[in-house]
Structures are given as structure tokens and as C-alpha cells.
Structure 1
Amino acid sequence: MILIDALYINNSGGKVLLDYLIEELEKTSKEIFYLLDERIQNENHSLKLKNKVTYLQASLFKRRKFYRENKNKFSAILCFGNLPPNIRTSAKVYTYFHQLLFLELPKEIPFISKKIYYIKTRVLNAFRKNTDYWIVQTDLVKEKLSKKYDIRENNILVMPFYPPFGMQINQNIRKEHQYIYVSNVTRHKNHLRLMDAFTKFYDQHKKGKLILTIPDHAADILNLINIKKDKGYPIENIGFIDRNALRKLYKESEYHIYPSLTESFGLGLVEAIENGCKVIGADLPYTYAVCKPSFVFNPLEVDSITEALSLSLQKNTINSESKVTNKIDTLISLLH
């Protein structure tokens, strides 16, 4: 039996990948045991009768108890939340690492968050010998992970995967000068600078529309959006949307602007290019690890973001190109 330990995954890009992984695993004949976060217990995962699922509170104590009770039960384990098992088991263990904040913290991160991530890195370091292999999404993350935790590069596998959008749909009419930013709302996602830059851009050119996907709980940023809208700036928040609506949004938008200060992968970059969007990206290594963007900017400088937006008004700008391929089948083949 194979264990998929995704106890710390419950939202955002990690949840998108987890849902896709479960969907693909359920197409195989493998016998699977899923360990999932209780916060997603009400979601419908269509599992085969022979496969099992347990929902737990995402705590180190409960996870350790689970592994102590089941340490010799599984032939292979995929830990999908950056953290290897709390204890050494008899299984072949793979740990999927997709959180760059365990490797480096932007200066923008609040002091409390820095302390929390410092503790998390100490925990990860304590558990790192409980996994046989690490799986990452880019060579950039492989290099940083190897260096920070003194892990042999031969034990780090690069296997990006992401859910395709499925069957082609009729091409929407692409709206000129429509900019989107598909992202959650944590501090390093850099929404405030983006909105300041867009308002300066709009003051200069009276063109463009910015669409954001801010969740309902982010009251401060939602209030700022409303203030800017009341002043006549075309900034729209559509909140969380499903995959079908997201694809339609990509298809009708000209640019995906991505000012995040750090990413392990940047799923939105890959999805945007797959659906014909051009990328205006942060001039940071994570951007170049997954794509060749149409324009870049310094994400710490509002004027630089404004300048990139202004350059995008040119005619016949170059298309963006993806550098990654979906390796979900290779990943699944490891688990036996």
C-alpha cells in the first residue's frame, strides 16, 4: 500500500496540485492510503473502494502518532507538504518540496512570520533524514534545497507537474490591455505595489484593466480595491474562481502580470502561457526557471512595474514561452 501524506495542504496552488494528484492516482490500479487535512474533509474526492482516507488535524503530534502506529504498513510514501515523516519508516519515502520560504525569506515578510518559518526550517532539518528522496519543481529549487540542507543533488529529483485544462474551448476574444494576477493574498505576493503601479500606469495612459483573485477574508486589500475603484481606477476583484472560469479568464486576457517576491514554481505563469496569455514577470530567478516572459520588472520598485505595464502597450510584443513539461506520470511511476 502507498501512503500519500498531504496533511498540511488545504488551499492555494498546493491544493490544486493535490486534487490533480489524487485524480490521476485514482486512475491507476495502485492501492492508496490518503492522509489529509481535516479542513478539506467536506470536499468530495472520488476514491475507489479499496483505497482509504484519514483526515487529521494538521499537527506534528497527531502526525507523529499516525506514523508510529503505521510505520511498517506502507511500501512507499509520498509526503506532499514539504515535510518528511516524523520518524524513519520501512517504506521508500519521497518528499515533495514546494515552499521556497523554507529556503529564503523576502525582506517584506513580517517579523512574526520570519520567526514561524525559522521554527519550521528547524523542524524540517530535524526530519530530513527520514526521507530517501526529495522531489522539486525546478532546478532552481533543487540547487537551493541542496545548499541549505546539505542534501546530495542525486537525492533531489526535478519533476514538475500541474493539471492541464483538458479539452480545448472556443477561443475567447482576447481583451486588449486586460491584465490579470491569479494568486492568493499572502504578503510576499506583492499586491500593494502592483495596485500602486497600475494606478500610476492608468493615470499616464488611461488604458487597461486589472483583475485580481483576492479571497473574501482579505478585508484590508479588498477595502483598498474599493477605494481605488471609487476613484475611477478599473481594478476588479473576482475572488476565488473554479478551473473553468479561470481558463476563460486566461483566454480573454492579454497579460498575466506576476509581481510575487518568491515562488517555488509559479503555477499561474505556466497556466497563463498554456492559455495564450503573455507574461509580465518579476525579474527574479523563479520566473526564468519556468518561462521566457514577454517583459520583466523589479518587483520591489513601483516605478519599474509601471514601466513594464507601459511597455506592454506596444504593438506586436513577443509571446511568452514555457520551459516546463508535466511529469505527473513519471512521479506516479515512482510509487510502488
Structure 2
Amino acid sequence: MILLDAIYINNSGGKILLDYLIQELEKSEKKVFYLLDSRVEGKISYLNGSKNEVLLIQASLLNRYKFYLKNKNRFKSVLCFGNLPPNIRLNAVVYTYFHQQLYIHLPKDASLMLKVSFFLKRQLFKYFFSNTDYWFLQTDYIKTNFATKFNVDPEKVIVFPFYPKLIENPNVERIKHSYVYVSNAPPHKNHLRLINAFCSFYDKYHIGRLTLTIDYEFTDLLEIVKEKINLNYPIYNIGFVQRDKLSKIYRQSEYLIYPSTAESFGLGIIEAIENGCKVIGADLPYTYAVCKPSLTFDPLNEQSIFEALSLSLSENTSPSYAKISNKIEELISILK
């Protein structure tokens, strides 16, 4: 039997990938035990009627330890989906899917709180490090940095990017000089610099519109957006967008602009390209790991973002293309 441990995944891009992974595992008819975060209760309807076992528990080190202690010999293979290997060594082949770049490197402008938080998380990560046999990662760039940072045998690190395709909305008219940033808004997502740069761009050219997807919990940033809108800047915050609506948002936009200062994958970049957007991306390795962008900028420099927006007005901007492919079938085939 396979154990899928996703106890620390409950929202954002991780939840999107988890949903897709579980649905593909269900199609495979493999025998799986799903250990999930109690916060996803009511959000996993695709498991209704499943023949596999599902256990929802409160995400904590203690609860996870108790589960592993009780089930140490039960599983043939284990996939920990959420960066952290098991609390103890198991009598099973263990794979850990690592998808948090911040364990490797923090942005230059990271807050003190973020630095302290990830210092503590790294200590825990290192403590459990030897409890896995293999690591699954999303890009070759992350693989290289991960192997160097943690002194791992590259043969134990396997690149397995995977992502669900969006439901297509083909009959949508693309709006000229429109920019979209599909992302929630923790500090490293860098919304404030983008907003300021876009406003400077609009002041000069009086053209363009910016669509954001900032959720209600980011009150300080939403207040800034509201102030800009009241000053007649064409900024549209549409909040959290369900996946069945995302394709339409991308297909309405000419450009995806992606100023994040740290990413392990950048799912939104792939989704945007597959839906016909050109990419204006941060001049950082994670961008080049997944695509050839149309334009780039220094994400820590508002003037650089402004200049990239200005260059996007050219009629000769080259298209963007993706460099990775979906390897969900290969990943699932390894699990026994």
C-alpha cells in the first residue's frame, strides 16, 4: 500500500497540485492511504466514494509522530507531499516532494520574522532529512541548488514537475495592453513594487490595466489597492479565483507579469503561457527554469519593472514558451 502524507498542505498552489495528484492516483487504481490536513475537510469531494482510506488530522508534529509510530510497518512506499520527511525512519521506500525554495534561499529583502521562521524550519528539516530515501523536485534549477545546499547525492534527487491543465475558455477576447498577476500576497510575492511601478507606467503612458488576485486576508495591501483605484488607476483586484475561471482571466490578458522574489516552480507562469499570454518575468533563475520569457526585470527595482512595462508596448515583443512538461504519469508509476 502507498501512503500519501499531505498533512501540511491546505491552500494555494500546493493544494492545487495535491488535488491533481490525488485524482490521478484514484484513476490509477493503486491502493492508497491518504493522510490529509483536517483543514481540507469539505474541499476533497473527489474522494467521495473512494475505495481508499482517508484520514484527516490536525497538522502538528505530535499528531504526525503518533501516526507514523503506529503505522511504521504498514506501507510499502510513502510519498510525503509537503517538504518534510517522516518524523521517524520507516520500513518503506520513502519519497519526499520538495517544493519550497525558501528552505534553500531567502529573498534579499526578507523580513526578520521570515528569516527567523525559516531558520527554525530548516533546523527541523535537517533533523528529519535522513528519514527519506529519495527527493522529488520540480525543476533542474531547484535540483542543483538543493543538492548543493544539503549535500545530497544527485542520484537521490529526481525532477518530476506536474500540474493540472486549466479548463479552456476559447471564446474570450484578449485585451490589448492588459497585465495580470495571479498570486496570493505574502511579502515575497512582491505586489507593492508591481503596483507602484504600474502606476508610474500609467502616469506616463495613460494606457494599460492591471488585474490582481489578492485575497481578503491581506488587508494592508488591499487598502493600498483601494487607494490607487480611488485615484483612477485601472487596477482590478478580483480576489481568489476558482480554477475553472482562471483560463478566462489569462485569455483576457496580453501579459502575465510575475514579480515574485522566490519560487520553486511558478505554476502561474506555465498556466499563462498555455493560455496564450506573454510573460514579463523576474530576472531570477526560477523564471528561466520554467520558460523563455518575453521580457524581464529586476524584481527589487520599481524602475526596472516600469521599464519592462514600457517595453511591452512594442509591437515586436517575442512570445514566451514553456521549458517543462507534465510528468505526473512517471511519478505515479514509481509508487508501488
Q: Taking structure 2 as the reference length, what is the TM-score of the superposition?
A: 0.98
Give 1:213 deviation, angstroms: 0.4
**Alpha-carbon distance between aligned partners in 1 of 2:232 and 2:177, rounded to the nearest angstrom:** 17
Give 1:298 deviation, angstroms: 0.4
**Alpha-carbon distance between aligned partners in 1 of 2:44 and 2:328, rounded to the nearest angstrom:** 22
Q: Which residue of 1 aligns with 2:28?
A: 28
Q: Which residue of 2 aligns with 1:294?
A: 294
Query: Which deviations, in whole Å up to 9, do the C-alpha atoms of 1:62-109 show, x marking residues without a partner?
Result: 111110000111111000000000101011111000000000111222
**Alpha-carbon distance between aligned partners in 2 of 1:46 and 1:161, rounded to the nearest angstrom:** 19
- Name the Cα RMSD after superposition: 0.9
**Alpha-carbon distance between aligned partners in 2 of 1:114 and 1:37, rounded to the nearest angstrom:** 25
Kindly indicate whether the alpha-carbon contact (under 8 Å) linking 1:190 and 1:259 is maintained by their aligned counterparts in 2.
yes
Q: Which residue of 1 aligns with 2:258?
A: 258
Query: Which deviations, in whole Å up to 9, do the C-alpha atoms of 1:265-288 show, x marking residues without a partner?
Result: 000000000000000000000000
Q: Which residue of 2 aligns with 1:282?
A: 282
**Alpha-carbon distance between aligned partners in 1 of 2:228 and 2:142, rounded to the nearest angstrom:** 37
**Alpha-carbon distance between aligned partners in 2 of 1:235 and 1:213, rounded to the nearest angstrom:** 11
Give 1:197 deviation, angstroms: 0.2
Unaligned runs of 5+ in 1: none
Kindly indicate whether the alpha-carbon contact (under 8 Å) linking 2:19 and 2:44 is maintained by their aligned counterparts in 1.
no
Give 1:162 deviation, angstroms: 0.4
Residue 98, structure 1, aligned to residue 99, structure 2:
yes
Q: Which residue of 2 aligns with 1:325?
A: 325
Q: Which residue of 2 aligns with 1:208?
A: 208
Q: Superposition pairs for residues 57-96 of structure 1, below 5 Å?
A: 57-96=58-97
* Distance of aligned partners of 1:8 and 1:325 in 2 relative to their CA distance in 1, 3 Å threshold: same
Q: Superposition pairs for residues 179-218 of structure 1, below 5 Å?
A: 179-218=179-218
**Alpha-carbon distance between aligned partners in 2 of 1:46 and 1:193, rounded to the nearest angstrom:** 39
Give 1:236 deviation, angstroms: 0.7
Corresponding letter in the other structure for 2:257:
I
Kindly indicate whether the alpha-carbon contact (under 8 Å) linking 2:13 and 2:267 is maintained by their aligned counterparts in 1.
yes
Q: Which residue of 1 aligns with 2:124?
A: 123
SS in 2 for 1:261: coil
Corresponding letter in the other structure for 1:51:
N
Query: Which deviations, in whole Å up to 9, do the C-alpha atoms of 1:120-153 show, x marking residues without a partner?
Result: 1111111111111000000111011111111100
| Aligned-pair identity (%) | 55
Residue 9, structure 1, aligned to residue 9, structure 2:
yes
**Alpha-carbon distance between aligned partners in 2 of 1:52 and 1:113, rounded to the nearest angstrom:** 36
Corresponding letter in the other structure for 1:79:
C
SS in 1 for 2:232: coil
SS in 2 for 1:26: helix
Question: Which deviates the most, 48-57 or 192-201?
Answer: 48-57
Unaligned runs of 5+ in 2: none
Kindly indicate whether the alpha-carbon contact (under 8 Å) linking 1:108 and 1:187 is maintained by their aligned counterparts in 2.
no
SS in 1 for 2:28: coil
Kindly indicate whether the alpha-carbon contact (under 8 Å) linking 2:282 and 2:296 is maintained by their aligned counterparts in 1.
yes
Corresponding letter in the other structure for 1:4:
L
